[in-house]
Structure 1
Amino acid sequence: MKKTILSLLLLSTWLFATVKNEEASQALLDSKIPIVDIRTPAEWRETGLLKGSIPIMFFDEKGNYDINDFLQKLNSAVDTKKPFAIICRTGSRTRILASFLSQKLNYDVINIKRGILYAKYLKLDILPYKPN
Protein backbone atom coordinates (compact mmCIF):
# COMPACT_ATOMS: atom_id res chain seq x y z
CA MET A 1 0.00 0.00 0.00
CA LYS A 2 2.80 2.43 0.92
CA LYS A 3 4.59 1.71 -2.35
CA THR A 4 1.40 2.41 -4.31
CA ILE A 5 0.87 5.74 -2.57
CA LEU A 6 4.50 6.72 -3.03
CA SER A 7 4.33 5.78 -6.71
CA LEU A 8 1.19 7.87 -7.19
CA LEU A 9 2.78 10.85 -5.47
CA LEU A 10 5.88 10.61 -7.63
CA LEU A 11 3.79 10.23 -10.77
CA SER A 12 1.62 13.21 -9.88
CA THR A 13 4.73 15.32 -9.28
CA TRP A 14 6.03 14.37 -12.69
CA LEU A 15 2.68 15.07 -14.34
CA PHE A 16 2.22 18.51 -12.82
CA ALA A 17 5.74 19.84 -13.22
CA THR A 18 6.29 21.70 -16.45
CA VAL A 19 9.10 23.05 -18.52
CA LYS A 20 8.22 25.54 -21.21
CA ASN A 21 10.81 26.34 -23.83
CA GLU A 22 10.46 29.93 -25.04
CA GLU A 23 12.73 32.36 -26.77
CA ALA A 24 13.51 35.66 -25.13
CA SER A 25 10.98 38.31 -26.09
CA GLN A 26 9.64 41.66 -25.02
CA ALA A 27 6.39 39.91 -24.08
CA LEU A 28 8.27 37.67 -21.66
CA LEU A 29 9.98 40.69 -20.10
CA ASP A 30 6.67 42.56 -19.89
CA SER A 31 5.03 39.59 -18.16
CA LYS A 32 7.13 40.33 -15.05
CA ILE A 33 7.88 36.61 -14.63
CA PRO A 34 11.15 36.47 -12.70
CA ILE A 35 14.14 35.61 -14.88
CA VAL A 36 17.16 34.00 -13.23
CA ASP A 37 20.45 34.31 -15.12
CA ILE A 38 22.53 31.23 -14.24
CA ARG A 39 25.73 32.25 -16.03
CA THR A 40 29.03 33.17 -14.41
CA PRO A 41 30.01 36.66 -13.23
CA ALA A 42 32.51 36.87 -16.10
CA GLU A 43 29.69 36.21 -18.57
CA TRP A 44 27.45 38.77 -16.87
CA ARG A 45 30.22 41.37 -17.21
CA GLU A 46 30.80 40.44 -20.86
CA THR A 47 27.21 40.68 -22.12
CA GLY A 48 25.22 42.33 -19.34
CA LEU A 49 21.91 41.07 -17.95
CA LEU A 50 18.35 41.24 -19.20
CA LYS A 51 16.65 44.13 -17.44
CA GLY A 52 15.16 42.87 -14.18
CA SER A 53 16.87 39.48 -14.24
CA ILE A 54 18.37 37.96 -11.12
CA PRO A 55 21.98 36.73 -11.37
CA ILE A 56 22.46 33.42 -9.54
CA MET A 57 25.39 31.40 -10.87
CA PHE A 58 24.77 27.67 -11.29
CA PHE A 59 27.76 26.21 -13.19
CA ASP A 60 31.11 27.84 -12.47
CA GLU A 61 33.84 28.43 -15.07
CA LYS A 62 34.95 24.79 -14.75
CA GLY A 63 31.45 23.32 -15.05
CA ASN A 64 31.13 22.55 -11.34
CA TYR A 65 28.02 23.37 -9.34
CA ASP A 66 26.68 23.41 -5.80
CA ILE A 67 22.99 22.52 -6.04
CA ASN A 68 22.28 23.30 -2.38
CA ASP A 69 23.83 26.77 -2.60
CA PHE A 70 22.00 27.48 -5.85
CA LEU A 71 18.63 26.32 -4.47
CA GLN A 72 19.08 28.36 -1.31
CA LYS A 73 19.76 31.51 -3.36
CA LEU A 74 16.98 30.70 -5.84
CA ASN A 75 14.38 30.09 -3.14
CA SER A 76 15.29 33.31 -1.34
CA ALA A 77 15.09 35.37 -4.56
CA VAL A 78 12.11 33.79 -6.37
CA ASP A 79 8.73 32.38 -5.36
CA THR A 80 9.31 28.89 -6.76
CA LYS A 81 5.63 28.03 -6.27
CA LYS A 82 4.99 30.26 -9.30
CA PRO A 83 6.48 30.06 -12.80
CA PHE A 84 9.91 31.60 -13.32
CA ALA A 85 12.38 31.63 -16.20
CA ILE A 86 16.05 30.77 -16.44
CA ILE A 87 18.56 32.02 -18.98
CA CYS A 88 22.18 31.29 -19.87
CA ARG A 89 24.37 32.15 -22.87
CA THR A 90 22.75 29.92 -25.52
CA GLY A 91 20.15 27.82 -23.69
CA SER A 92 22.13 24.61 -23.30
CA ARG A 93 22.80 24.90 -19.55
CA THR A 94 19.26 26.04 -18.82
CA ARG A 95 17.82 23.11 -20.75
CA ILE A 96 19.59 20.74 -18.33
CA LEU A 97 18.73 22.73 -15.23
CA ALA A 98 15.09 23.31 -16.23
CA SER A 99 14.51 19.58 -16.57
CA PHE A 100 16.04 18.94 -13.16
CA LEU A 101 14.05 21.69 -11.43
CA SER A 102 10.84 20.50 -13.02
CA GLN A 103 11.24 16.75 -12.60
CA LYS A 104 12.91 16.65 -9.18
CA LEU A 105 11.44 19.71 -7.46
CA ASN A 106 8.14 20.17 -9.30
CA TYR A 107 8.95 23.77 -10.30
CA ASP A 108 7.21 25.39 -13.28
CA VAL A 109 10.20 26.60 -15.27
CA ILE A 110 10.54 28.53 -18.50
CA ASN A 111 13.76 27.65 -20.30
CA ILE A 112 14.77 30.66 -22.39
CA LYS A 113 15.96 29.03 -25.59
CA ARG A 114 18.92 30.56 -27.42
CA GLY A 115 19.85 32.50 -24.28
CA ILE A 116 21.24 35.97 -23.79
CA LEU A 117 22.92 35.98 -27.22
CA TYR A 118 19.53 35.83 -28.90
CA ALA A 119 18.15 38.45 -26.52
CA LYS A 120 21.01 40.75 -27.55
CA TYR A 121 20.27 40.03 -31.21
CA LEU A 122 16.65 41.06 -30.60
CA LYS A 123 17.92 44.24 -28.91
CA LEU A 124 15.97 43.58 -25.74
CA ASP A 125 16.72 45.71 -22.68
CA ILE A 126 20.13 44.55 -21.45
CA LEU A 127 21.87 46.37 -18.62
CA PRO A 128 25.52 46.25 -17.54
CA TYR A 129 26.26 43.86 -14.67
CA LYS A 130 26.94 45.66 -11.41
CA PRO A 131 28.20 43.35 -8.63
CA ASN A 132 26.81 44.04 -5.16
Structure 2
Amino acid sequence: MSTITKRTFLGIGLGAVAGAAGIGYAMTNVSAAGFEHRFMTVEEMQATGGLIVDIRTPPEWVETGVIDGARLVTFNDPASFLARVGPEIADGRDLVLICRSGNRTSAAARALEGRIPNRIVSVDGGMGKVISDGYKTVPPS
Protein backbone atom coordinates (compact mmCIF):
# COMPACT_ATOMS: atom_id res chain seq x y z
CA MET A 1 0.00 0.00 0.00
CA SER A 2 3.05 2.21 0.03
CA THR A 3 2.55 3.20 -3.63
CA ILE A 4 -1.03 4.39 -3.02
CA THR A 5 -1.43 7.61 -1.07
CA LYS A 6 -4.12 8.06 1.53
CA ARG A 7 -5.82 10.60 -0.76
CA THR A 8 -5.92 8.10 -3.66
CA PHE A 9 -7.18 5.36 -1.36
CA LEU A 10 -9.96 7.60 -0.04
CA GLY A 11 -10.87 8.67 -3.58
CA ILE A 12 -11.22 5.06 -4.68
CA GLY A 13 -13.31 4.25 -1.61
CA LEU A 14 -15.64 7.23 -2.12
CA GLY A 15 -16.02 6.33 -5.80
CA ALA A 16 -17.04 2.80 -4.87
CA VAL A 17 -19.59 4.06 -2.34
CA ALA A 18 -21.06 6.51 -4.87
CA GLY A 19 -21.24 3.79 -7.50
CA ALA A 20 -22.98 1.42 -5.10
CA ALA A 21 -25.46 4.15 -4.16
CA GLY A 22 -26.23 4.72 -7.84
CA ILE A 23 -26.80 1.02 -8.40
CA GLY A 24 -29.08 0.89 -5.36
CA TYR A 25 -31.10 3.84 -6.69
CA ALA A 26 -31.45 2.24 -10.10
CA MET A 27 -32.62 -1.01 -8.55
CA THR A 28 -35.43 0.78 -6.71
CA ASN A 29 -36.82 2.18 -9.95
CA VAL A 30 -36.39 -0.69 -12.39
CA SER A 31 -36.76 -4.31 -11.43
CA ALA A 32 -34.53 -7.05 -12.73
CA ALA A 33 -37.35 -8.21 -15.02
CA GLY A 34 -37.87 -4.73 -16.36
CA PHE A 35 -40.94 -3.17 -14.78
CA GLU A 36 -40.47 0.51 -14.15
CA HIS A 37 -41.72 2.51 -11.17
CA ARG A 38 -41.58 6.17 -12.15
CA PHE A 39 -43.77 9.22 -12.44
CA MET A 40 -45.37 9.95 -15.80
CA THR A 41 -47.76 12.70 -16.81
CA VAL A 42 -51.01 11.62 -18.43
CA GLU A 43 -49.64 12.86 -21.75
CA GLU A 44 -46.56 10.67 -21.32
CA MET A 45 -48.72 7.67 -20.40
CA GLN A 46 -50.85 8.19 -23.51
CA ALA A 47 -47.78 8.72 -25.71
CA THR A 48 -46.54 5.20 -24.90
CA GLY A 49 -49.53 3.78 -26.74
CA GLY A 50 -49.92 1.46 -23.78
CA LEU A 51 -53.01 0.40 -21.92
CA ILE A 52 -53.53 2.69 -18.92
CA VAL A 53 -55.23 0.78 -16.11
CA ASP A 54 -56.45 2.43 -12.90
CA ILE A 55 -56.26 -0.36 -10.31
CA ARG A 56 -57.98 1.53 -7.48
CA THR A 57 -61.40 0.63 -6.10
CA PRO A 58 -64.73 1.98 -7.42
CA PRO A 59 -65.20 4.33 -4.41
CA GLU A 60 -61.76 5.83 -5.12
CA TRP A 61 -62.64 6.36 -8.79
CA VAL A 62 -65.78 8.24 -7.75
CA GLU A 63 -63.94 10.27 -5.10
CA THR A 64 -61.25 11.73 -7.39
CA GLY A 65 -62.36 10.95 -10.91
CA VAL A 66 -60.25 9.01 -13.39
CA ILE A 67 -57.98 9.51 -16.38
CA ASP A 68 -60.01 9.88 -19.54
CA GLY A 69 -59.73 6.63 -21.50
CA ALA A 70 -58.17 4.58 -18.70
CA ARG A 71 -59.43 1.05 -18.07
CA LEU A 72 -60.85 0.71 -14.56
CA VAL A 73 -59.93 -2.69 -13.14
CA THR A 74 -59.31 -3.17 -9.43
CA PHE A 75 -56.25 -5.37 -8.92
CA ASN A 76 -57.01 -8.29 -6.61
CA ASP A 77 -54.71 -10.97 -8.00
CA PRO A 78 -52.71 -11.54 -11.19
CA ALA A 79 -54.97 -14.23 -12.67
CA SER A 80 -58.26 -12.33 -12.45
CA PHE A 81 -56.59 -9.09 -13.50
CA LEU A 82 -55.01 -10.68 -16.59
CA ALA A 83 -58.30 -12.35 -17.47
CA ARG A 84 -59.78 -8.86 -17.78
CA VAL A 85 -56.94 -6.93 -19.44
CA GLY A 86 -54.92 -9.68 -21.14
CA PRO A 87 -56.79 -9.52 -24.46
CA GLU A 88 -56.16 -5.76 -24.65
CA ILE A 89 -52.40 -6.12 -24.26
CA ALA A 90 -52.03 -9.26 -26.38
CA ASP A 91 -50.60 -7.05 -29.13
CA GLY A 92 -47.53 -6.48 -26.92
CA ARG A 93 -48.16 -2.88 -25.95
CA ASP A 94 -47.11 -1.49 -22.57
CA LEU A 95 -49.21 -1.92 -19.46
CA VAL A 96 -49.32 1.36 -17.49
CA LEU A 97 -50.67 0.93 -13.96
CA ILE A 98 -51.91 3.77 -11.75
CA CYS A 99 -53.39 3.83 -8.24
CA ARG A 100 -53.68 6.52 -5.55
CA SER A 101 -49.98 6.83 -4.60
CA GLY A 102 -47.98 4.23 -6.50
CA ASN A 103 -47.72 1.64 -3.74
CA ARG A 104 -50.39 -0.72 -5.08
CA THR A 105 -49.14 -0.42 -8.65
CA SER A 106 -45.63 -1.30 -7.54
CA ALA A 107 -46.94 -4.42 -5.78
CA ALA A 108 -49.16 -5.29 -8.76
CA ALA A 109 -46.27 -4.86 -11.19
CA ARG A 110 -44.13 -7.21 -9.10
CA ALA A 111 -46.96 -9.75 -9.09
CA LEU A 112 -47.40 -9.48 -12.87
CA GLU A 113 -43.76 -9.42 -13.97
CA GLY A 114 -42.75 -12.64 -15.63
CA ARG A 115 -46.38 -13.53 -16.37
CA ILE A 116 -46.60 -11.30 -19.43
CA PRO A 117 -43.97 -10.27 -21.97
CA ASN A 118 -45.17 -6.65 -21.98
CA ARG A 119 -43.27 -3.78 -20.41
CA ILE A 120 -45.03 -2.76 -17.19
CA VAL A 121 -44.92 0.78 -15.84
CA SER A 122 -46.01 1.53 -12.27
CA VAL A 123 -46.78 5.25 -11.99
CA ASP A 124 -44.94 6.65 -8.97
CA GLY A 125 -47.04 9.16 -7.05
CA GLY A 126 -50.23 7.82 -8.62
CA MET A 127 -53.38 9.85 -9.09
CA GLY A 128 -52.42 12.11 -6.19
CA LYS A 129 -49.41 13.39 -8.14
CA VAL A 130 -51.23 13.47 -11.48
CA ILE A 131 -54.03 15.58 -9.99
CA SER A 132 -51.67 17.85 -8.04
CA ASP A 133 -49.83 18.52 -11.31
CA GLY A 134 -53.07 19.92 -12.74
CA TYR A 135 -54.69 17.04 -14.63
CA LYS A 136 -58.48 17.39 -14.74
CA THR A 137 -60.06 13.99 -14.19
CA VAL A 138 -63.37 12.76 -15.61
CA PRO A 139 -66.13 10.87 -13.78
CA PRO A 140 -65.82 7.06 -14.00
CA SER A 141 -68.17 5.44 -16.48
| TM-score, length-scaled by structure 1 | 0.72
**Counterpart in the other structure of 2:35:** 19
The answer as to whether partners of 2:38 and 2:123 remain within 8 angstroms in 1 is yes
Q: CA deviation at 1:105?
A: 3.5
Structure having the higher strand fraction is 1
Once residues 108 and 93 of structure 2 are traced to their aligned partners in structure 1, the CA distance between those partners, rounded to angstroms, is 17
1:89 to 93, 100, 120: 100
Runs of 4+ that moved beyond 6 A: none
Residues 1:129 and 1:107: Cα distance change in structure 2 (over 3 Å): same
Tell me the SS of whatever aligns to 1:123. Answer: coil
Amino acid at match of 1:108: R
1:122 to 105, 111, 133: 133
Number of corresponding residues: 110
1:79 to 90, 109, 112: 90
Q: CA deviation at 1:100?
A: 2.0
Larger RCO, structure (CA 8 Å, separation 6 or more): 1
Q: CA deviation at 1:80?
A: 6.4
When structure 1 is superposed on structure 2, of 65-74 and 41-50 the one drifting more is 65-74
The answer as to whether partners of 1:21 and 1:112 remain within 8 angstroms in 2 is yes
- CA RMSD between the two structures: 2.1
1:69 to 66, 80, 90: 80
Structure 1 unaligned blocks of 5 or more: 1-13, 59-64
Amino acid at match of 2:37: N
When structure 1 is superposed on structure 2, of 87-96 and 118-127 the one drifting more is 118-127
Please say if 1:100 is aligned against 2:117. Answer: no
Which of structures 1 and 2 has the bigger CA Rg?
Answer: 2
Please say if 1:46 is aligned against 2:63. Answer: yes
Once residues 117 and 39 of structure 1 are traced to their aligned partners in structure 2, the CA distance between those partners, rounded to angstroms, is 12
Query: Which residues in structure 2 correspond to 1:19-38 (within 5 Å)?
Result: 19-31=35-47, 32-38=49-55
Q: CA deviation at 1:28?
A: 1.3
Q: CA deviation at 1:25?
A: 0.8
- Percent sequence identity is 25
